Chains A and B, each alone.
Chain A
Amino acid sequence: MRNKQLEVRQRFNVRMVYFFAATPLFLGILLFQIMQLQWFEHEKYRLQADQNRLNIIPILPVRGEIIDAQGRGLAINHIDYRVSLIPERVENLEMTLHTLAQALHWTDDKVTLLRKRIKHTRPDRSVLLDDKLQWSDVSPLAARLHHYPGINVEAGSYRQYPFSELTSHIIGYLSLANAGDVEAGFLPSEFIGRTGIEKSFEAYLHGRLGHQREEVDAHGRRIAVINRKAPTMGKTIQLALDTDIQQAASDALGERTGAVVVMDVNTGGIIAMLSKPGYDTNQFITGLESAQWQEWLNNPEKPLLNRATQAAYPPASTFKLVTGLAGLDQSSQLAEGSTYCPGYVEFSDRKLHCWKRAGHETVTMHKALVQSCDVYFYQLADQLGMGVISDAALDWGLGEKTEIDLPPESRGIIPAQSPYMMAAIKSTQSRRKKWFRGETMITGIGQGALTTTPLQIARLAAAIANGGYILKPQVLAHRPTEVLHQVNVKAEHLQIVRSAMRDVVLSSAGTAHRALNQAAWTSAGKTGTAQVVKLSTKKKNKLSEEEIQRHHKDHAWFMGYAPYENPQIAITVFVEHGGHGGSDAAPVAAAIIQAMAEKQALALNQQPDKQKMFSPTVSKL
């Protein structure tokens, strides 16, 4: 019995040893796990704890403004105020809503709607009650904000285009960042420039994001602001554009479709660049409806197209200046002599007509330009050959991009006899292998496959005025003049062309005489009337009878510069299906010259006041 008891006791003692050993084992395993977390993986968890408690809230930068040469805002930021509410922080919702409704003049319907919206939102999330408020609306509220816990009044800004339709193509528009932009680091709530200046100077205008580092609790509520980096505002950009001139051009063009370019002949500054019809760029900010966008896309007038740079048309008679200068340069017999215009020219089995069926009788270069004789230039082009003409066109800045900071831009087309250019012809025309003589001749008067943009023609006018300097068109003000290329042209040749252009306006036989002779400034120019390719039956079927008639109307051109003695501006007016250059395009130029002259007279009268004029801070680009 005693032995049995001893055995039991011994067994118990042995078991106790196990228990004594087990205790540190259990606690040791726990300690090991804690060591793992607190020692070896401490860094990882420290970061995670910071991620938990720190919330980095981006602060959107205010976009730089775009102002015109006079400092008027073309793309400005409108400050608005928004009132929002965080339901769980509101002490007495009914009282608060009642007070707000009185202060902000809400209707009962709106209050009911808001009450519903609050009910359906998570209580810790902010609910937008009202936005687009003025300071005067919210100031009484903001001053007493501490009486209304849970209510926030915040300032925000949105883009506004005061001259939206007038400047839609040059200024461009914004839209919210898309998936690609977000990948590139933009926030989904940021607006990005999509076209025009807004796009090409995006990097300057956009500004830099700021941020606020906040400590938040598990419910995402802000406990404290740890630090704050203010956003960098985008830079303000001043354009060479003058809204008054732009407006004058727009008024003169009226409802017609077309483009106007006014360029400083000495600096290349774009004083006006209009494309009609325009579109309301403000709608991109307030929320563009898809129906409206579709309407713009499918509108046969193509309002989204910048006709000044993105569309190329046959330059028509304005191109005769290039043919003429090429002839003078080549010392061609015809350029220095004269020919007889019977109203047509015959070659092989074809007959090409002059616009004036009765003919111009004896024509020199001067007379041919003033009266825009086709026969003279058919013959001159025939003598020069396509190679010379295309080289001259390239020399004068046609058929290549003007390098204006408004991509995308059309090159236009210069057909040529060279195999390289044949490829271009082949792609635009039917599959022909051969270049016909007649094609060179019609190219000489700016018809056929040749196309140019209105901006290229404006630059040509500027180059003729300034002595052959092909300038980069500058959309920004205060930029140094950039000469892309200097045409090697003799001064006396240029003078021949200039005096002919002067007589286009001055002589009673000149094509722009009626429109421009009475203008405030002396001017020189050249009209053009581009024949329109007949519509294909397929396109015809889509259009009404009225539209077909309109589409068969010729394009009207005018290009020129003023004042003649001391050139300041080069003007190009293009009216799509506008009729005749002299009667339909030149009057627009007259209106522009009138506006320019009035402005300068005003500036001269107010010279002493000039210092007081609004001078915006303009960043150096």
Chain B
Amino acid sequence: MKRVLLSLDWILLASLLSLAALGLCVLYAAVYQGDMGLWHKQSMFWTAGMTGFLVLCFVPLRILGLVSWPMYAVGLLLLMLVPLIGDIHMGARRWLDLGFANIQPSEIMKWAMMFVLASWFATREARGLINIAIPLLLVAAPAALIVTQPDLGTTLVLLFAMVALMIAAGLPWRLFGAAVALGIASLPVLWHFMHGYQKQRVLTLLDPQSDPLGAGYHVIQSSIAIGSGGLLGKGFLQGTQARLHFLPEQHTDFIFSVLAEEGGMIAVILLLGLYAVLISRILLIAQRAHSRFASMLCIGIAAIFTLYITVNIGMVSGVFPVVGLPLPFISYGGSALVTMLAALGIVMRVAIESHERIPWQRPGSPLA
């Protein structure tokens, strides 16, 4: 116990706690005119998530390596059940009613797939046909199921994490370049298969003013909220866009605009700074990790956080189309928060184990 405490990564913990404090403040501002119950719920999610975080600090990484394949198998099975018996919610079939709880198999799959890829690349490099083809197939199966739900956000997360892990695992650049070129070339085909609402989102992104009261409304209102915040912001609880309910989904996906409106650019810089510390810390832990499996896990987690942050803020400020990804640690949402804290718990465990076993400059092979 004492050993674990001593080897905790305090910078990671400090940035996480700062984000917790900031997140709860912003959520307070987002819901205080509406349902304050949400704020209390989120506080409870934090408590639960932090407990999970602490528990995971004591779970050896070996065990994760052991459960990764079974977890992937169960995840895939559940995912296949979704089209058959899933619940339709907001026009997409994503949820599975297990009697005691509604779960989103894609959420499980996201993490399971990362564990599987990490353990795959723990002993291999992303070079050679077999080494690349098998992980591609491992991702393609769930990705195909998820994209038809439809859930573009999670699919994007899967692909992004996969690419990040492959690059970390030494994917040759020319293959990467070829994949990017192929991706761009397939855009028109993708467009053809996109759902109407997804096409609408892309079109609206290109010109939000074309539909100011419909699909463009969200982006326009959040841009107004952010822009009107200015350098210093309108003050805590003083944001008119937030207070008067002009912002859509202001406690979940669009919570960034509440922060930007009330806190101004100062708060934005603070938030992005905290994220920068958090992500670089995860990357640093990845580099210092005692095993290649641990490094890969951390890189995957850092990639997912980066994607969440980029897509969410990009969406809210009108750079990306509206894709429902949460802003890590700030957006309201229990399951997202708990899984992200669990992921950070794993990162912390990596830091702890590395601290125990490995001296500062690690000799030897990452493939050992």
Contacts and interface: CB of A to CB of B under 8 A. Distances in A.
Interface of A: 2, 5-6, 8-9, 11-13, 15-16, 18-20, 22-24, 26-27, 29-31, 33-35, 37-39, 41-42, 44-46, 48-50, 52-53, 215-219, 223
Contact of A38 (B230, B309, B313): B230
Nearest to B276: A27
A22 B310 CA distance: 12
Nearest to B246: A218
Interface in B36-74: none
Interface stretch (B77-85, B264-272, B352-360): B264-272
A19 B283 contact: yes
A38 B268 contact: yes
Contacts of A22: 306
A217 B164 CA distance: 44
A12 B294 CA distance: 13
B126 to A, nearest CB: 10
Contact of A34 (B268, B302, B365): B268
A413 B319 CA distance: 76
Given A12-B292, A42-B230, 9 more contacts: A8-B367, A12-B169, A30-B309, A38-B229, A39-B230, A42-B228, A46-B228, A218-B246, A219-B245
20 contacts: A5-B366, A9-B365, A12-B169, A12-B366, A13-B287, A15-B170, A23-B306, A30-B310, A31-B268, A33-B319, A34-B260, A37-B317, A38-B227, A45-B228, A49-B241, A53-B246, A216-B244, A217-B244, A217-B245, A218-B246
Q: Which 3 A-B pairs have the closest CB atoms?
A: A45-B227, A5-B365, A49-B228
Report the contact-size class of chain B (Cβ under 8 Å from the partner).
35 or more
Contacts of A52: 221, 224, 240-241, 244, 246
B283 A23 contact: yes
Interface string B311-334: 001100111000000000000000
Contact of B295 (A5, A12, A41, A46): A12
Given A44-B227, A49-B241, A53-B240, A11 B125 contact: yes
Contacts of A6: 365
B286 interface: yes
A27 B240 contact: no
Nearest to A216: B244
Contacts of B365: 2, 5-6, 8-9
A19 B299 contact: yes
Contacts of B318: 33
A39 B265 contact: yes
B265 A23 contact: no
Given A11-B170, A38-B260, A219-B245, A30 B286 contact: no
B368 to A, nearest CB: 8
A20 B280 contact: yes
Contacts of B164: 19
Nearest to A219: B245
Given A34-B268, A38-B268, A52-B244, A5 B168 contact: no
A584 to B, nearest CB: 69
B14 interface: no
B256 to A, nearest CB: 9
Nearest to A37: B227
A215 to B, nearest CB: 7
B226 A38 contact: yes
Secondary structure dominating the interface of A: helix
A219 B244 CA distance: 9
Contacts of B226: 34, 37-38, 45
Contact of B245 (A26, A29, A38, A218): A218
Nearest to B167: A15
Contacts of A30: 272, 309-310, 313-314, 317, 319
Nearest to B307: A26
Contacts of A18: 167
B300 to A, nearest CB: 11
B223 A45 contact: yes
Contact of A218 (B167, B244, B276, B367): B244
Contact of B287 (A16, A46, A218): A16
A18 B229 CA distance: 34
B78 to A, nearest CB: 31
Given A13-B287, A38-B231, A46-B228, A26 B264 contact: no
Interface string B113-136: 000000000000100000000000
Contact of A12 (B168, B240, B314): B168
Given A19-B299, A27-B272, A49 B231 contact: no
Nearest to A6: B365
Contacts of A49: 224-225, 227-228, 240-241
A12 B225 contact: no
Nearest to A45: B227
B116 to A, nearest CB: 19
B112 interface: no
Interface in B282-296: 283, 286-287, 292, 295
B255 interface: no
Nearest to A215: B244
A38 to B, nearest CB: 5
B12 interface: no
A215 B245 CA distance: 12
A9 B363 CA distance: 10
A38 B125 contact: no
B235 to A, nearest CB: 14
A258 B103 CA distance: 90
A2 B366 CA distance: 11
A599 to B, nearest CB: 64
B215 interface: no
Given A23-B279, A27-B275, A34 B168 contact: no
A23 B229 CA distance: 26
Nearest to A12: B366
B272 A31 contact: yes
B80 to A, nearest CB: 34
A219 B230 CA distance: 25
A38 B226 CA distance: 6
A42 B231 contact: yes
A484 to B, nearest CB: 60
A550 to B, nearest CB: 63
Nearest to A11: B170
B287 A37 contact: no
A22 to B, nearest CB: 8
Contact of A53 (B244, B269, B368): B244
A223 B168 CA distance: 54
B275 A45 contact: no
Interface in B200-247: 221, 223-231, 240-241, 244-246
B302 A19 contact: yes
B224 A45 contact: yes
B113 to A, nearest CB: 19
Contacts of A8: 125, 170, 365-367
Contacts of B268: 31, 34, 38
Contacts of B260: 34, 37-38
Nearest to B226: A37
